Structure 1
């Protein structure tokens, strides 16, 4: 059983983070923020995938001004990612950002930070203190060295130093992230930081890579931390369509039995008994499952001989053979279907089961 670290609660829009509230899954758009049509379209795709908080880049004043048009067309909280320019942070809040991500130490000094904090207080906007291995202050690197698994001190001290800058301004509506591209440094850093503060923590492995390496690195680091009760919200950072980040994020939570969203897919790895195109079949079913909400357990198996038995825990499943396939429920054959009709019939059965589950909710 996972026992979560007790942290403070902050609220971003309608979403509460920390304090025992559900661990939230975030993403970031990869569109030009000033292209509001493309940005809103991508956010809508992310919303359908389950994204609960969305962050957009604000590199200039036009992007800050675009936030108001974006926010009025979406339903999830909107965060602004700011670097170096206090004016952009203030403008982002004035134009509807419900949270901002900054590194307080690189905004141009105490006076500029005071202006940002005053705006955050006025708009009731939480601040994420976000530190990456590549953005640590030079004097901290000189003192502690570059962050490693054995000594992530520079990451931690950078974050806490910047948190103290906000606290001196009387601001405490804070969450913290300390991201490294190294899995073991990420784990070590967050473990130590969690023991030193009760602010909510945003987890992530930065620059994790493409779909496979990024999923593996992020799942290892975040899976270990979440299993230890550390972390209140996270992003899976992939060089990929951000919708994939959400899919991986919820599968990670499901694997730890922390949260479930939508169906779970069980599929066999194929073997010499497989006589159908199982890869295409599994991909087709998986795409359809993304449109469903009920926590069904769905199996896609390549062998009609062993499929139902191996996946007897599935609510519904499909197994293929040469020219024919079967649909089974809880390990019992339900229908035998010609191979050409297998996919549409199975999707129809999935939709019926989804409707029954939704009706019973």
Structure 2
């Protein structure tokens, strides 16, 4: 366990949803909130797609979605599924046959958009294929592709239209006795997405997949996603998330975990608490943190590290972290372990020393966890 304690005022009461499985990953109920992403390779290029899936899995992705726009893609999907270390979701648009082919290829979940998939009869065929091959289904409602009759009814994309679309599709699945589904109601507008999810959370007990779709580039998309997803997660809504960025999918995974870590909902890797730096700093905080983030990216064990440039807040922050370093004077600073002063260390040797301390503490935590489980 980390040194940072859980406080009652930090707790989030999660909405109780029923649980489904996407492959071997539980979604909903009391399962951890899963982090998803999506490949941006040509799915027909099996080697490139598998390499990206593996990179995302190494970064912590629990589930990876792969686009299957044509028959060649669903043929390639069989090998991708076989080589993937995590469950694969097949992204289906427009042609219901791709969903059936993806189920036959071993996809763990089929993502279908009610506005694009076609008639109820086609949806029925997709349900039959999912049931026959043990697939879950994600009902993926998107503000940009709502059904024509809903746009005519409401005049524009709105929370009511998005929720009605989701509930219509839920009805079809439920009428066919299919309950292994999760639902999303995504929009690029943060307010629209949040309102739709809030209404949907009250209307169904299905697990919800959160996302602010087409959020933008790495910076702007991270900010929009943090606001939209963060507000919903803080309210206890959400069982799985995807941060949609015009960036490397690995970055989506990293941002997803940072959002969950900030809310205390899931912990993976080193949570670095650092100051923005100022004239009081005893060392180059910005460069130090960047280097530590790079060199500690391989550490998966949850722990906290404070890197503070001076003694104004440094000792106080170190009290709440596993390891801390506070800048001082004369080219050295103070190292804290488990909130207590431990020893001085020169700024020149500080990065190597902290990496060594973090790796040592991570090994200790893993050993303690393993011993407790035996």
Write the deviation string for residues 71-109 of structure 1: whole angstroms up to 9, x where unpaired. 222221110001011111111111111101002453332
Q: Does 1:83 align with 2:90?
A: no
Q: Aligned residue for 2:349?
A: 341
Moved more, 10-19 or 308-317: 308-317
Which residue of structure 2 lines up, in the alignment, with residue 101 of structure 1?
111
Are the counterparts in 1 of residues 68 and 90 from structure 2 also a CA contact under 8 Å?
yes
**Aligned runs of 1:197-216 on 2, under 5 Å?**
197-216=204-223
2:289 to 277, 282, 286: 282
In the alignment, which residue of structure 2 is the partner of 1:240?
247
> In the aligned structure 1, how far is the partner of 2:210 from the partner of 2:316?
39
Contact 1:4 1:228 in 2 (8 A): yes
| Structure 1 position 156, deviation (Å) | 1.0
Counterpart Cα distance in 2 of 1:159 and 1:310: 45
The one of 25, 39, 56 aligned to 1:29: 39
Q: Deviations over 1:222-281 (max 9, x none)?
A: 222122221111111112222222222222222222222222110011011125332221
Runs of 5+ unmatched residues, structure 1 = none
Counterpart secondary structure, 2:267: coil
Equivalent pairs, count: 358
Tell me how large the CA RMSD over aligned residues is.
2.0
Q: 2:137 aligns with which of 98, 103, 127?
A: 127
Q: 1:206 offset after TM fit, Å? A: 0.6
Please say if 1:39 is aligned against 2:49: yes
The equivalent of 1:177 in structure 2 is 184
Q: SS of 1:259's equivalent?
A: coil
Three-state SS of the structure 2 residue aligned to 1:130 is strand
Superposed, 1:116-265 pairs within 5 Å as 116-148=126-158, 152-265=159-272
Equivalent residues of 1:103, 1:162 under 8 A apart: no
Q: What residue is the counterpart of 2:361 in the other structure? A: 353
User: Which residue does the alignment assign to 2:4?
Assistant: none
Q: Which residue of structure 2 lines up, in the alignment, with residue 329 of structure 1? A: 337
1:313 equivalent in alignment to 2:320? yes
User: Are the equivalent residues in 2 in contact too, given 1:10–1:173 (CA < 8 A)?
Assistant: yes
The answer to whether the 8 Å contact 1:236/1:249 transfers is yes
Give the 3-state SS of the residue equivalent to 2:83 in structure 1: coil
TM-score by length of 2: 0.89
The one-character-per-residue Cα deviations of 1:43-65 (angstroms, maximum 9, x if unpaired) are 22211221111101111111111
Once residues 24 and 94 of structure 1 are traced to their aligned partners in structure 2, the CA distance between those partners, rounded to angstroms, is 25
- TM-score, scaled relative to structure 1: 0.92
Which residue among 292, 305, 323 is the counterpart of 1:298? 305
Give yes or no for contact 1:133–1:146 (8 Å, CA) kept in 2.
no
Please say if residues 35 and 62 of structure 2, whose CA atoms lie closer than 8 Å, have aligned partners that are also in contact. yes
Distance 1:23 1:306 in 2: 32
Question: What SS does the corresponding residue of 1:178 show, helix, strand or coil?
Answer: strand
**Offset of residue 18 of structure 1:** 1.5
Match of 1:14 in 2: 24
Question: 1:304 & 1:66 partners in 2: Cα distance?
Answer: 57
Are the equivalent residues in 2 in contact too, given 1:276–1:322 (CA < 8 A)? no
> Judging changes above 3 Å, is the alpha-carbon distance between structure 1 residues 319 and 162 closer, same or farther for their aligned structure 2 residues?
same
C-alpha distance in structure 2 between counterparts of 1:219 and 1:357, whole Å: 29
Match of 1:67 among 57, 61, 77: 77
Quick check: 306-315 or 94-103, which moved more? 306-315
For residues 95 and 22 of structure 1, the distance between their equivalents in structure 2, rounded to whole angstroms, comes to: 27
Kindly tell me: are residues 322 and 54 of structure 1, through their superposed partners in 2, closer, same or farther at Cα, counting changes over 3 Å? farther
> Greater shift after overlay, 166-175 or 180-189?
166-175
Of 109-118 and 213-222, deviating more is: 109-118
User: Which runs of 5 or more structure 2 residues have no equivalent in the other structure?
Assistant: 1-10, 370-374
